[in-house]
Amino acid sequence: MDPAALFLSATGRLAPRPFAIGAAVIYAASLASQTLISAPVVARAGFWPFAAAQATLLWGWYALHAKRLRDADEDVGAAAGIATVYALAMVLLLFVAFFIRLGARPSEALAGSAMRWLGPLSFGVFGSGEFGGLGLILAAFLIAAFAPALVALAFSIWTGMRPTASAAP
């Protein structure tokens, strides 16, 4: 199978082993893409690189899962639903990052620290008192924005463990 078609096309079928390799690549790239929402990157390029990377990776995630589910003779609707929830979570993450003015003026403690590359996660570590009680709400939104990633990971494991339709009883 063409490596580009593995992530770009949602048609066809995919065996468990290539699915596992593709899913590992998607999750590694998704983790690496979190640096695109760090203060130094946002200060120079805004939120667009992160949004574009997440949209591309989300489509690749959906394409992999749709093919694997089709190979296991399962409905692809669950993959579409999880992808939609993940997309909404990334929008929430962007709202939180915009609200805390990520990249506008990092605090002195954050500016000199390697933690500045953690993006909104650094807010939880270096969150200033300027938000008051709203800081706790923003932290809860931040956690809510990352929770669908755990659901997607569990779904990927479940999807990868499905037997192929020809091997199913």
For residue 148, name the pLDDT band (cuts at 50, 70, 90).
very high
pLDDT tens, position by position, 17-46? 999 999 999 999 999 998 888 878 888 888
pLDDT at 126 (0 to 100): 44
pLDDT at 8 (0 to 100): 83
pTM above 0.85, yes or no: no
pLDDT at 61 (0 to 100): 96
68: number of Cβ within 10 Å? 26
What is the average pLDDT across 53-66?
A: 96
**Average pLDDT score over the chain:** 81
Q: Tell me the C-alpha to C-alpha distance, in Å, between residue 132 and each of 99, 109, 135, 139.
A: 14, 19, 6, 12
What is the average pLDDT across 114-140?
A: 58
Lowest mean pLDDT among 12-21, 51-60, 135-144, 145-154: 135-144
What is the average pLDDT across 51-55?
A: 94
Tokens at 145, concatenated: 């924005």
Report the percentage of the chain scoring pLDDT > 90: 46
pLDDT beyond 70 at 167: no
Nearest Cα to Cα of residue 31 among 96, 95, 117:
117
Tokens at 60, concatenated: 């690749």
What is the average pLDDT across 76-101?
A: 88
- Alpha helix locations (H) across 9-162? 16-33, 39-45, 48-71, 77-99, 108-111, 121-126, 134-160
Q: How many CA atoms lie within 13 A of 2 on its CB side?
A: 7
User: Which amino acid belongs to residue 33?
Assistant: S
